[in-house]
Every structure is written in C-alpha cells, then in structure tokens.
Chain A
Amino acid sequence: MIEFSNYDIIRNLLIATQWTVLLSLAAFAGGISVALCLTAARLTKNPALAGLIKLYVEVFQGTPLLMQMFLCFFGLSLVGLNISAWNAAVLSLTLFTSAFLVEIWRGCIDTLPKGQWEASRCLGLSFLQTLRYVVLPQAFKVALAPSIGFSVQVVKGTALASVIGFVELTKAGTMLNNATFEPFKVFAFVALIYFALCYPLSLTSKILEKKFNVSR
C-alpha cells in the first residue's frame, strides 16, 4: 500500500485543478460567444427569434446542470455521437453559461433608457452603429460585475463533470479519498482550492459593482 503524504494529496489536487480552471475558461469563453450571438439575435426584435431564445433560456435555467451534462454525455453517445467527457462537459457548461449570461445581459441592455436609442436614431445612426457606439459600451460597464459574479457559478458547476468521469478537482478528490480514506482532510483541501479560485472572482465583482455605482 502506498502512503499519501499531505504534500502528495495537495500536489495531485493542484494538478487536477488545472483541468478545473481550463474547463471553467472554456465554458465561460463558449458561454460568452453563444450569449453574444443570442443577444444580437434578440435585439433584432424578431418575434420568432425572441421566442426561441426565451425557450432556450427557460430550458437551460429550468433543468439541473447535471441532467444537461448526462444528456450531452450519455444521450449523444446513444444517438451514435461518441463524445468525450471533456467535450460533453464543455458543451453542457457552455449551454448552461450562455443561458444565464443572455438573461443577465438582457437586463443590462434593457436598463438603458429608450431615449438613447431614439437619440441615436434621430442622429442617423444605423442599428448596428447604435449598438456599437452607444448601447454596448454602456451595457458593458453595467454587465461586467454580474457576469464576473456569475463566473463563480461556472467554476463550481465544473465539479459536476466529475460525475461523467472527467478528472478535475472534485474527481481527483474522490479518487484520493478512495486511496487514503481521509475524507475530511481531502475534501477540506478540495473546498479550499475552490474557495481560492472563486473568492477573487466574487471580490472583483463586488469591487466593480461599487466602482460603477459611484460613477453613476
């Protein structure tokens, strides 16, 4: 039987943490890209598109992320698409993240007074020019704090990828626990690492929120 020192446990957890970080980044980047497309589509005021986006948001916000991950992993392989645990995790986290971001951004854009759109229109700006020069620069400032705040949910959401067999921080913790039988110690380390990842994010979010509130 191999003995695991604290050093071994932490070293192995930190190696797995790289995958948690990578998965979080991939999911957040994917989520931002999809949410940008959906936001642009929503702003065209096409009722069919708006309805579809609403349905999309309802589905992905209204079902557990774990179910979405199961469907991506087991469901897709059932219909003949062989998908790796990494791909399934990135895909489901992307969908999940985008559904929340598109809702957060909707709120941010809608808080802009209608007069901003009207003034731009009267000055001869096109829809896209209005977005680029007037709406998005303002909405970006408002959206930054809640978006970063939400990224904490994404980081914690990556833990679910352990269930479909992807070795990230939580999965590594489970494996180390099975080898050491020291759940309290192992999972305390796991929790500490998650906290170390998430706390700077929520702190940034809070600081930004304060900063932009004062300037208003």
Chain B
Amino acid sequence: MSLVNIHEVHKYYGDLHVLKGINLNIKAGEVISIIGRSGSGKSTLLRCMNGLEKYQKGGITVDGKEVTTEEIQVRILARSVGMIFQSFNLFPHLTVGENIMLAPTIVLKKSKQEAQETAKAMLDKVGLADKFDSFPEKLSGGQQQRVAIARALAMNPKVLLCDEITSALDPELVGDVLKVLEQLAKEGMTLVLVTHEMNFARDVGDRVVFMHQGKVWEEGPAKEVFANPQTDELKNFVNSVL
C-alpha cells in the first residue's frame, strides 16, 4: 500500500487544463523529485496533494485519507502532510521558537513544555539550535528555510512536500538546506520535491518524475532517468538544465 496515491487527477483553471490525468504512487520512505519546465503543472500537482488546490476529476489519498480542499479535511491531512514553500512563509511576528511551537500547541494540543522540547529538538536537527529566540527577519534566507523545515517536522508528518524550496535562496545558502533534506532522506522521511536542483534529484532522489504539458511524461529511478532519457522532451530538458 503506497503512502500517496494519485489516480487520474485532472485540474482546470477555468478553461485551462493544467493537470491531464496524473497517476502516481509514492511509497513510504521514497524520495521523489518532480521536475519539468515552468508551467508543466508540477507545483500545482504538489499543491493538490495537501488540499491547497482543488482538482476536478480523479482522486488523491495520503496515508489512507482522501485529499479535498474542505477545511476539516485539510486539518486532518495536516497531521500527515507537511509543506515547505519557496518563500518560507514564516510568521514574522513570532520568534523562531514560537513559529515552531504554534501548531503543535494549538492543533495537536501539546503542552507548552512538550512543544518546546520538540521545537528545540527540531531546531537542533536543522542546525539552528541557537536561534530559538530570534525573529525570522534576523536570519538569512537559508536559515529561514531551515526553520520552516523544523516547523513542518514538529508536526511529525509522514510526508514532506517541498515546493521549490531552494529557488529563492542565494547560491551559497542552497547547500545548507539540501544537506538537511539529505539527512531527512537518510532517516527515512518520505519527500516529494518540486525542484530545479538536478544534482540533488539525481544523487539523493530515489525516483524522478518528469512532467510536461500537464502529464507525467516520463518517470523512473533517478539515475536512469538522467543517464538515459527516453523522450525528446526530457532529453532537451536535461540538456538545458545540466
């Protein structure tokens, strides 16, 4: 039984057909990279997987729960699915520690002390144990993104969705964030990444999904897909980015 089950998903923005029948199964512990040109629907697919976007046909289940955009369903899903954004989306009025503790205390109803212990452990994991009392604006982009990862991890998710999480970072800060992801992958976290980091996709990812024109154009084991692309579209894409 796969952790994420996507079956014949179609999505329209008005007349625009963005996802044209997506099928994808993701097993627990897999690291999946979704690659493709902008406009291929990869971010939209990711956002459909936790109820941020509606889809019109087909079905998605995560951890056995149906994914819809209803608030109640999204709140149930949030216990299994974590998401990290390109723009970090930390809460600027709260300290790093408070950012991480907010959802565990009010959603999971953890005690303040328990939430604080979790928060410190997660910050330690992303290498920012000393930033507990800092405000996000005092941190670099790479540090902010690592706090966002810690915040998502504090909810103890089964799968982490990463939406181009290194795209807004200065090149020298990308490595720190990728290192954290690599560590998570080693620990067995299920990761679904929409990414432009092809080296990371090839070296750390288990499987690569190449999306083109709203379809899964090609997929397979990461190293194979890059070494031996089957379609012209993927060949062109790989040549243009590597």
Contacts and interface: CB of A to CB of B under 8 A. Distances in A.
Interface in A101-125: 113, 115-116, 118-119, 121-125
A122 B106 contact: no
B75 A119 contact: no
Nearest to B154: A123
Contacts of A116: 89, 91
A122 B102 contact: no
Contacts of B137: 216
A116 B151 CA distance: 14
Given A133-B106, A134-B91, A138-B92, A123 B85 contact: no
Contacts of A181: none
A211 interface: no
B78 A121 contact: yes
Contact of A126 (B71, B91, B93, B148): B71
A97 B192 CA distance: 50
B191 to A, nearest CB: 15
A123 B87 contact: no
A121 B74 contact: yes
Contacts of A119: 83, 85, 89-91, 148
A116 B148 CA distance: 12
A118 B137 CA distance: 19
Question: B51, B92, B108, B137: which has the most chain A beta carbons within 10 Å?
Answer: B92
A141 to B, nearest CB: 7
A70 to B, nearest CB: 44
A123 B81 CA distance: 9
Contacts of A6: none
For chain A, the bracket of interface size reads 10 to 19
B107 interface: yes
Nearest to A112: B92
Contact of B89 (A118, A126, A127, A133): A118
A141 B78 contact: no
A118 B82 CA distance: 12
Interface residues of B, number: 29
B93 A118 contact: no
Contact of A123 (B52, B71, B103): B103
Contacts of A122: 50, 52, 78, 81-83, 152
B13 to A, nearest CB: 16
B52 A118 contact: yes
Interface in A128-152: 129, 133-134, 137-138, 141
A129 B107 CA distance: 9
B83 A127 contact: no
Given A121-B74, A122-B78, A123-B78, A141 B93 contact: yes
Interface string B73-117: 011001101110101111111000000001100111000000000
Contacts of B152: 122-123
Nearest to A134: B91
B91 A124 contact: no
Contact of B151 (A118, A123, A134): A123
Contact of B102 (A113, A126, A133, A216): A133
Question: A123, A129, A141, A216: which has the most chain B beta carbons within 10 Å?
Answer: A123
Contacts of B108: 124
B234 interface: no
Contact of B87 (A115, A125, A134): A115
Nearest to B148: A119
A120 B87 CA distance: 14
B155 interface: yes
Interface of B: 50-52, 71, 74-75, 78-79, 81-83, 85, 87-93, 102-103, 106-108, 137, 148, 151-152, 155
Interface of A: 113, 115-116, 118-119, 121-127, 129, 133-134, 137-138, 141, 216
8 nearest interchain CB pairs? Answer: A124-B78, A119-B89, A115-B89, A123-B103, A124-B107, A122-B83, A124-B75, A137-B93
